[in-house]
Chain A
């Protein structure tokens, strides 16, 4: 028994099945995690190797090279990039998308173990570091304080970090730039010399005094006592009164040769929130945890905790990833609801019947909710992509139900009983409905096979639309007839009295049908004229391509701006700090849109891993600016950024800077935030540092002079001036010394050494001994450093070594083993395609030395790759659609006629993009591909019905006109449901809307234009083919007659 007849006979079973689907769907929805983007397994593994004391060039040759050679042979490898800096080699291994990362990590480990033998002694074991989405901080708080600043570390550790870490799903909670309490012993070298002491003796003395040692136990009578020598410092005050040496009968105290302070470490970090001192608290989630939920729990817990914090401590959110996710999701949900409303109105206006409208609309929740089950079962999240897919599907899922219901109504009007009309009418159109659904699936299913970063967008879209459409056709073939048989009334037997609304609707549509028939008759009589002008419009529209911008993904306004300023290297942190304060004031005053500005200068010493990812130093300032939400301001982040750029360029001391709207420049956030502008990379490859520098600087200068290029920065830092202590080995040897001893002597005095740890309330603080700053001011001060040789003599550094100023390259980058300099720039006002042209034109005029070559990469490369993918996909889908249609019509000719609606869809897209000033991007590309299916669907209905009439014996001309007239309403109806379903996507503004706007615009433009044109052109071409066939037939008859 067929699906429709059994569902009409067993309506209860049918309803129960669909209610079951809805219940399961809602259950899945309840359990779905909410996230911004579908899960992306970033196929990148980093290999980090520390080699203390080595320069960038040493690292490059001895560490990076051998590792790269092994890593380069891995399977599925996309590319290997590396950075060799002082003390650290940072290699990042990028695999093709879809690579099994566990397997890849194992392979990397094998490769490293092969290379390890070649690594120099003293080099630490390379460590693996895998990127994952859980590494992006969920929330970052700024914690400001005044009086309590000194104790902030302890307060936060005890009262905040522990409590937050206990929240389910929270991975790590870390404090950045926390003030560190130390006992600071600053030694005066002149006094040391006077007492003939060395710094090492001071350290040793302090270390020797601070001791608490168990000494066994003694038995006293019936008792037993443990014995302990306790010299542990009861307070930090003790330190300055320790005895270092005895000079005759006089004791030398620490206070005689040094100043001792219990203070905060003089760090090269300055962290400000709205200009006030503070620290940053970063919360990361566990893998797979729900960002939105965790952020909410953290916020709630934080609000509680805040009550117990001292009054001057204030907590300000700097970053809340969930906020953007939540508002994007809310916007899309709103979009979905509006789409639902519009679709309802369309169905009502076309049908004029409440009951029929109800039956059709019921397919929407059923098929959309089925998508949640898929998301739940495939461990996906509810995200921007999946919600947009639903918004796209909403207008299409009603189409099948509309066709079925329309035919049922027709049968009822002819006098069938509802039950039988439902069965027989569904049987009549069942095949056509299934076939047109197959066409849509033929378009969307290939999207699920797309790989790479584009696949992240496409895969879910493909699955969700394929699934909802399939469920909708099942619903149209079972639920729709079952409901119709129960609630629709037969016109003749029950004499339904048409209400006034319905009568009016019918009158209007009859008139529209009539007008269209007249238009079609005119067009059929002027075929050539109409066709020529249509193709003229088509080719004219192709010219528009030149005037439409191209970009990878549309830039988003996420309300965040990052600014990076670099001052000349070697500048003192106080100078940097003063500039930062000044700029903060300016921003606060001039930009009312700014809600919060967090500033950081310098690096955390402990955060060496972070330093691998982010460039930092006492001459670099990072500003993290948060704006009020999109609706509350007039300027976009891009406009504000432009204005900020002109403000910054007024500071003469800033040597280079970039303003990064959306905060996408840093490697980590770029992959996940999905926001902000587009980066454009030009890579200059070559071994010779000077040659590549020259080319890179010429290109960078040229790019700076061109309009549209902003924030041009080079990845290779300018050569840095260093004070190098060059040992004279002979002299050292004569004194019984080695270079190592010299090196440690210098290090202990300049950087300082940790003498011991002072303990207070269970927390240990370092006691650090070093030369006082007053005695480390000139090159001569380094030469004057004295230390003791094994023979006991005091040696001056200047006597055994030279101190020289030398230039060194601070970082060397590789891509696929070749040295590279990257020029990174933001584009503003021009698109990636134009930028590529500008650079290529300049390159032609440059004399590039042998061994140096230039490549354009970054978002530009991704764009080229994905446009190529899109082109292939377009062709593949065209072929698939043709296959499906040809087998449906059992003819090669009809699908060809139908395909004529595709070029006009493209015309519509180009017109829409041009007039709305939207760019051609990945998203509008998806739109064009989707249009193949949507545009073709209309023509299928038209041609199928015209065919039917011809077979029923109508002459071609009459069949075309009659067919058009009778199919006009269903075509308009299904088109308008799709169009208006997309409308909210195209017009609503809000956070995250930029991504999907081009899709809405593309589909609306393309569908509307192709609908209008194909209602005229497709019938004309159909009749041309039919006439040609008739003539051939006549000839054949004539030939036969002759024979």
Chain B
């Protein structure tokens, strides 16, 4: 079991939802409005007058086998529109009840 956290510009939520579906993932937790900025480049997404864009965050706990297809989907989104901003982070899940 792995945890995948995806932080992305809310303008592309539709595509992220589609990505989850494509990877065959049902369960997730989502934060609709989240502030954030990239470490290297790209615009900050702060929901202010200056930086009006906002991020969403999505956490999904999936079987190891599903991780790779999901990351592929995310990569695809990023390739098409890199300036929108999307990142995925993966870590291990120790236990689940």
Chain B binding surface SS class: helix
Structural contact, B13 and A420, CB atoms closer than 8 A: yes
Structural contact, B51 and A421, CB atoms closer than 8 A: no
Q: Quick one: which of B11, B13, B50, B81 has the most chain A CB within 10 A?
A: B11
Of the residues B10, B52, B84, contact of A415 by C-beta under 8 Å: B84
Residues of A within 8 A of B (CB): 411, 414-417, 419-421, 424, 427-428, 431, 492-493, 948, 951-952
Structural contact, A424 and B53, CB atoms closer than 8 A: yes
Q: Please, which residues of chain B bring their CB within 8 A of the CB of A952?
A: 50-51
Q: Enumerate 13 A-B pairs (CB-CB under 8 Å) in ascending A order.
A: A414-B11, A414-B81, A414-B84, A415-B81, A415-B83, A416-B12, A420-B13, A424-B10, A428-B53, A492-B80, A948-B49, A952-B50, A952-B51
* 8 smallest beta-carbon distances between A and B, as pairs: A415-B81, A428-B52, A416-B11, A951-B50, A424-B11, A417-B14, A420-B11, A414-B83
Q: Please, which residues of chain A bring their CB within 8 A of the CB of B84?
A: 414-416
Give the shortest distance, in Å, between B75 (CB) and chain A (any CB).
15
Give the shortest distance, in Å, between B31 (CB) and chain A (any CB).
16
Q: Quick one: which of B13, B14, B52, B84 has the most chain A CB within 10 A?
A: B52
Compute how far the CA of A951 lies from the CA of B14 in the bound complex, rounded to whole angstroms. Answer: 30
Structural contact, A411 and B11, CB atoms closer than 8 A: yes
Q: Which parts of B4-55 form the interface with A (CB within 8 Å)?
A: 10-15, 49-53
Name the CB-closest residue of A to B14: A417
Q: Please, which residues of chain B bring their CB within 8 A of the CB of A431?
A: 49
Structural contact, B50 and A415, CB atoms closer than 8 A: no
Structural contact, B52 and A492, CB atoms closer than 8 A: no
Name the CB-closest residue of B to A948: B50
Compute how far the CA of A424 lies from the CA of B83 in the bound complex, rounded to whole angstroms. Answer: 15
Of the residues A417, A427, A948, A951, contact of B12 by C-beta under 8 Å: A417
Compute how far the CA of A951 lies from the CA of B44 in the bound complex, rounded to whole angstroms. Answer: 12
- Extra A-B contacts (18), CB below 8 Å, given A416-B81, A492-B81: A414-B11, A414-B81, A415-B12, A415-B81, A416-B11, A416-B12, A417-B15, A420-B10, A420-B12, A420-B13, A420-B14, A427-B52, A431-B49, A493-B80, A948-B50, A951-B49, A952-B50, A952-B51
Q: Please, which residues of chain B bring their CB within 8 A of the CB of A419?
A: 14
Name the CB-closest residue of A to B81: A415
Compute how far the CA of A377 lies from the CA of B34 in the bound complex, rounded to whole angstroms. Answer: 47
Give the shortest distance, in Å, between A100 (CB) and chain B (any CB).
49
Compute how far the CA of A411 lies from the CA of B14 in the bound complex, rounded to whole angstroms. Answer: 14
Compute how far the CA of A411 lies from the CA of B53 in the bound complex, rounded to whole angstroms. Answer: 11
Name the CB-closest residue of B to A428: B52
Q: Please, which residues of chain B bring their CB within 8 A of the CB of A420?
A: 10-14
Q: Please, which residues of chain A bring their CB within 8 A of the CB of B51?
A: 952
Q: Please, which residues of chain B bring their CB within 8 A of the CB of A427?
A: 52
Q: Please, which residues of chain A bring their CB within 8 A of the CB of B13?
A: 420
Give the shortest distance, in Å, between B46 (CB) and chain A (any CB).
11
Q: A428-B52, A948-B49 are in contact. Are A415 and B14 (CB under 8 A)?
A: no
Compute how far the CA of A419 lies from the CA of B10 in the bound complex, rounded to whole angstroms. Answer: 12
Q: Which parts of B49-64 form the interface with A (CB within 8 Å)?
A: 49-53
Q: Please, which residues of chain B bring their CB within 8 A of the CB of A416?
A: 11-12, 81, 84
Interface 0/1 of B57-97, CB less than 8 Å to A: 00000000000000000000000110110000000000000
Q: Please, which residues of chain B bring their CB within 8 A of the CB of A414?
A: 11, 81, 83-84
Give the shortest distance, in Å, between B90 (CB) and chain A (any CB).
24
Give the shortest distance, in Å, between A952 (CB) and chain B (any CB).
6
Compute how far the CA of A431 lies from the CA of B50 in the bound complex, rounded to whole angstroms. Answer: 12
Name the CB-closest residue of A to B10: A424
Q: Please, which residues of chain B bring their CB within 8 A of the CB of A411?
A: 11
Give the shortest distance, in Å, between A91 (CB) and chain B (any CB).
64
Give the shortest distance, in Å, between B85 (CB) and chain A (any CB).
10
Name the CB-closest residue of A to B18: A417
Q: Please, which residues of chain A bring their CB within 8 A of the CB of B12?
A: 415-417, 420
Q: Please, which residues of chain A bring their CB within 8 A of the CB of B10?
A: 420, 424
Compute how far the CA of A414 lies from the CA of B52 in the bound complex, rounded to whole angstroms. Answer: 15
Q: Please, which residues of chain A bring their CB within 8 A of the CB of B50?
A: 948, 951-952
Give the shortest distance, in Å, between A301 (CB) and chain B (any CB).
66
Q: Please, which residues of chain A bring their CB within 8 A of the CB of B11?
A: 411, 414, 416, 420-421, 424
